[in-house]
């Protein structure tokens, strides 16, 4: 679904709009005056028409259901360039995160890659899976063959903090 399709959809749900606006007021949503500096530095700009300033505009206009139900909010690379570049200290990144949280809260379809990543972090405590390394002579190495210590994995304390950070999902 493209952003242009979003603006042709349903009417604004005023109750949801007010709930989200109260939450997003902390993110200085209304400080955004559409200068597009955030979009100039966005690494995900070419993916699914994501432009941080357009997400800010659509959120202010009340197209929250449409944004939450679309894949657009999941294309953000979380690089924080938009937040760093904004002269008004508005935070498109935090608005997108709040929209993602709302999507999870509503049990909207979350991309499988995100669920796999969360599952992997809970199991191992690592962001990336450990990979084998291939040397120039095509010999393959892993932690054992390099005599590196084993990684302990995610402890119960880490799991509890991680789940609390996720909001108990």
- Domain spans in the chain, listed from the N-terminal domain onward: 3-105, 112-164
Residue 23, classed as helix, strand or coil, is helix
Q: How high is the mean pLDDT in each 10-residue block of the chain (169 residues)?
A: 52 66 65 87 75 88 85 86 88 87 82 83 83 90 88 83 72
DSSP 147: T
Cα 163 to Cα 27, 118, 121, 160: the distances in Å are 23, 10, 11, 5
Q: Tokens in use for 7?
A: 């603006």
Output the pLDDT for position 102. Answer: 85
Cα 91 to Cα 7, 21, 45, 49, 145: the distances in Å are 22, 14, 16, 18, 46
Give the CATH superfamily of 3-105.
Answer: Alpha-helical ferredoxin (1.10.1060.10)
Residue 141, classed as helix, strand or coil, is strand
């Amino acid at each position: 679904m493209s952003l242009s399709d979003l603006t042709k959809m349903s009417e604004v749900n005023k109750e949801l709009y007010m709930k989200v606006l109260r939450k997003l007021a902390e993110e200085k949503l209304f400080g955004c005056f559409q200068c597009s500096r955030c979009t100039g530095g966005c690494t995900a700009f070419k993916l699914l028409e994501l432009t941080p300033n357009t997400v800010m505009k659509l959120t202010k206009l009340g197209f929250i259901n449409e944004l939450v139900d679309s894949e657009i909010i999941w294309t953000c690379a979380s690089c924080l360039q938009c937040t760093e570049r904004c002269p008004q200290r508005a935070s498109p990144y935090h608005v997108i995160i709040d929209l993602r949280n709302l999507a999870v809260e509503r049990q909207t379809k979350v991309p499988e890659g995100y669920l796999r990543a969360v599952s992997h972090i809970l199991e191992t405590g690592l962001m990336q899976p450990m990979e084998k390394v291939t040397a120039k002579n095509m010999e393959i190495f892993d932690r054992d063959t390099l005599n590196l210590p084993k990684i302990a994995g995610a402890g119960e304390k880490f799991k509890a903090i991680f789940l609390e950070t996720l909001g108990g999902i």
